Structure 1
Amino acid sequence: MQADVIIIGGGIAGASAAYFLSGQGSVVLIEREPHFGYHSSGRTAAQFTVGIAAGTMRRLAQASRAFLESPPPGFAEERILTPRGCLTVARAGQEQSLSRLHDNLASVGARAQHLDRAGALALFPALLAEHVASGVYEPDAMDIDVNTLLQGYLRGAKARGAQLLAGASIAAIERKGGQWLVSLDGQQIRAPLLLNAAGAWVDQVAGLAGVAPLGVVPHRRTAFTFASPAGLGTAAWPHVSNVDYRWYVKPETGCLMGSLADAVATEPGDVHPEDIDVAQAIHNIEQDTSFRVGRPLSQWAGLRNFTADKNPVAGARAADTEGFFWLAGQGGCGILTSPAMGQAIAAIMCDRDLPEGLRALGVSAADLSPQRETLRPAA
């Protein structure tokens, strides 16, 4: 099979890239798992927020808002975003951290409200007053319908002629005669351009292609659901966390989701929750709220993949084999930044300027480059 671009990795990153690139040429999207979005993309808190510490990631989130709020006609039958709000609370002495969060939100034009103790408790009444001094509220944070977004990318890419291959194990990758040759069970795909969007496995895919690793490190995060207290209407409450990120809680349909907000470096794989992490998360939540969690209804773990500077990568390195591109290191923000990241990598691979929406927020190709100074190993 001949194509213009081969994309390896069928999570949200690869799917968004396929959507935006398929309008420019023929695309083949390859996913090893039996269905798309199996790993990190299927195990997310599904929150849209721009309260992100890493500067480029924060700007990419804001640049993605317009697409998520108003996707192109026919992209999705259901709305992708629904209002939720995000509350971050602090104890006495943590005001400086809250101020940094407020400034980060304001830096990309997002609304942010300083709250006193009473204001924070009014939004999330389960907080214990003695453990809350103040808060910052992001009223325009949203819940993301991840499946609607993922299926919109896949359906749109397919409508534009993209070939979507799930359950496809890669046996070999080589560069020959100006083409990338990707060998699968029973077939070979050729294209001049190859995009590595394999999430936690990007460095492994690079190794198959004879390309040096980027240094992306997968981190495990654990989450679980638990019953809402009887008689307490939590459905309209915001997502809430403490400013030192020892836990977070988010209302879900008929229950609540909790997490330790952990980031434990691990090897790429199908990760599972550790009992000790779930127990620690429950302890932390019960220290700061009136919730008594009891036995979780469900629990799981997912991977968040970080570069050295915690900002994502989209582009190519001069030292790599010609036609090899990276889309990696979204650090748990891959869902909410996928419109901007997909548009960015499509522009870069087609040798065009980044879209105006990204440039207006100060995002440049150099900010996303895998050659940027902040990703270079220490001498």
Structure 2
Amino acid sequence: MSADFDIVIIGAGIAGVGLAAALGPGPRVAILEQEARHGYHSTGRSAAIYIRNYGNAVIRTLNAASAPLFEQGDASLFPHPLLTPRGVLNVADEEGLARHEAMLEGSHGMEILTREQALAMVPALRPEKLAAAAYERDAQDIDVSALHEGWLRKARANGATLMVGTPMLSAARVGGRWQIETPAGALTATTLVDAAGAWADDVATRAGIAPLGLQPMRRSIAVIPAPEAYDTAGWPLIADSAEGWYAKPDAGRLYVSPTEEIPVDPHDAYVDDMVLAEGLWRFEQAVDVPITRVERSWAGLRTFAPDRTPVVGFGGDGFFWLAGQGGYGIQTSPALSALAAALVKGEPPPDGLEALLPALSPKRFG
């Protein structure tokens, strides 16, 4: 294998693999992944759902720009649809009304429901706790594995090399190229792309680039049996508008998250039992679903920039940031992959995304 590349991407999650696929044939590309398999951390632990009204104004623009790939697919990469119907029922108690109204501001396609309509949709909700409800019909489940694997096949067909179990130990800019040290030997590249998720600031530091203050946040989820008293097969995802919990039915179970955001250092995330218990308690206050046991649980990391907007662009000589996607990395990946590929190759941004460049640029942090 050659050790000389045009582009070396650090991280084989949805960001790094999506970029490698979008770069197309021509550039010599390597993807370095520190873990023994690709997509081990955030990508592999995502209960992803495509919610068009999720996130700030920049995220919502990226959501919209990602719709064509999700809706139309690509039969050569994704033999089955990437989206399946789900819907999201947003609910609020009296204390959460202000957050509920704020969530509705700027949203599109949101249906305001009466209490009776919400209860007909999810009969397990406690009527006395239901002060407001709104339904996003267009929200859909994303087949994350199919998306990730399809892009990896495309990247490899383009000639990209995936190197798992190969962390970047250090990197230095020498003579207009990056000299990259790994346990497998030294590599060189014209462009070094930091798509390392929770480790993005650490990778930048090892390359002599100032970190941006990206913060990994832990979020956990529990799997519990679906309540025997109800048929959950047709339920939407149910989300507390105040972000105290959400619950997603799937195959006779409920996936319940406390939706916590606990700042942590980058690591192989694990569940904090007390935080999980508190979230499950909040869920129990809103629904008539007693929790008798937790079948399994896990945690993942969602990494945010200080302004909760992704970082995409050159932040040094040949050093490109593709990080800080927060909880929106899967659903914005089609747009961010296409945009990042254009910027890396020095091409015009895709239609409708050029106006986002100042808000995404790493230079906005000074």
TM norm structure 1? 0.92
Partner of 1:171: 169
Aligned to 1:84: 86
User: Which residue of structure 2 aligns with residue 250 of structure 1?
Assistant: 248
Whole-angstrom CA distance in 1 between matches of 2:55 and 2:75: 33
Post-superposition shift, 1:178?
A: 1.0
**1:326-364: CA deviations, max 9, x gaps?**
0111111111111111011111111222111535xxx42
Question: What SS is found at the alignment partner of 1:104?
Answer: coil
For 1:82, give the aligned amino acid. Answer: T
Q: Once the two structures are superposed, what CA deviation does each residue of 1:86-121 show, in whole Å capped at 9, x if it has no partner?
A: 111122464443333233322xxxx21111111111
8 Å CA contact 2:124–2:230 kept in 1: the answer is no
Summarize deviations over 1:161-196 as a string: whole Å, max 9, x none: 111111113232111111112122232221101100
Q: Specify which of 337, 343, 353 is matched with residue 348 of structure 1.
A: 343
Corresponding residue to 2:263 among 262, 265, 273: 265
Specify the alignment match of 2:20 in structure 1: 18
The amino acid across from 1:45 in the alignment is A
SS in 1 for 2:327: coil
Deviations 1:128-160 (A, max 9, x none): 111112211110101111100110110111011
Note if contact 1:354-1:364 (Cα within 8 Å) is conserved in structure 2: no
User: Could you tell me the percent identity over the aligned residues?
Assistant: 38
Matched, 1:241 2:239: yes
Deviation string, structure 1 residues 26-77 (Cα, Å, up to 9, x no partner): 2111101011110011111211102224221121112111111222231112
Q: Provide the residue aligned with 2:323 in structure 1.
A: 328
1-structure distance, mates of 2:174, 2:146 = 38
**Is the Cα–Cα contact under 8 Å of residues 197 and 328 in structure 1 kept in the other structure?**
yes
Aligned alpha-carbon RMSD (Å): 1.5
Matches of residues 273-288 of structure 1 in structure 2 within 5 Å?
A: 273-288=271-286
Report the counterpart of residue 152 of structure 2 in structure 1: 154
Q: Which consecutive residues of structure 2, in runs of 5 or more, have no partner in the other structure? A: none
Which deviates more, 112-121 or 216-225?
Answer: 112-121
Letter in structure 2 aligned against 1:365: L
Q: Residue type of the partner of 2:193?
A: L
- 1:210 pairs with one of 178, 197, 208: 208
Alpha-carbon distance in structure 1 between the residues aligned to 2:26 and 2:353: 19
Q: Is the CA contact 1:81–1:143 (under 8 Å) kept in the aligned structure 2?
A: yes
DSSP-derived class of the 2:47 partner:
coil
Question: Contact between 2:26 and 2:158, CA under 8 Å: does it hold in 1?
Answer: no
Q: How does 1:295-314 map to 2 (within 5 A)?
A: 295-314=293-312
Separation of aligned partners in 2, 1:182 and 1:93: 53
Distance in 2 between residues matched to 1:307 and 1:194, nearest whole Å: 20
Partners of 1:125 and 1:231 in 2: CA distance: 10
Counterpart for residue 358 of structure 2: 366
Equivalent residue of 2:5, what SS?
Answer: coil
Quick check: 1:90–1:98 contact (8 Å CA) kept in 2?
yes
Displacement of 1:235 after TM fit? 1.9
Distance across 1 between alignment mates of 2:65 and 2:98:
27
Contact 1:102 1:113 (C-alpha < 8 Å) held by counterparts: no
**Structure 1 residues 88-97 or 225-234, which shifts more?**
88-97
Which residue is equivalent to 1:3?
5
Runs of 4+ aligned residues of structure 1 deviating over 3 Å after TM superposition are 92-97
Corresponding residue for residue 74 of structure 1 = 76
What is the CA distance between 1:278 and its match in structure 2?
1.4
Of stretches 223-232 and 7-16 in structure 1, the one that deviates more from structure 2 is: 223-232
SS for the counterpart of 1:192 is strand
Q: Which amino acid aligns with 2:332?
A: T
Is the contact between residue 213 and residue 305 of structure 2 (CA under 8 Å) also seen in structure 1?
Answer: yes
Equivalent residues of 1:52, 1:104 under 8 A apart:
no
The code of the aligned residue for 1:12 comes to I
Segments of structure 1 that go 5 or more residues without pairing to the other structure are: none
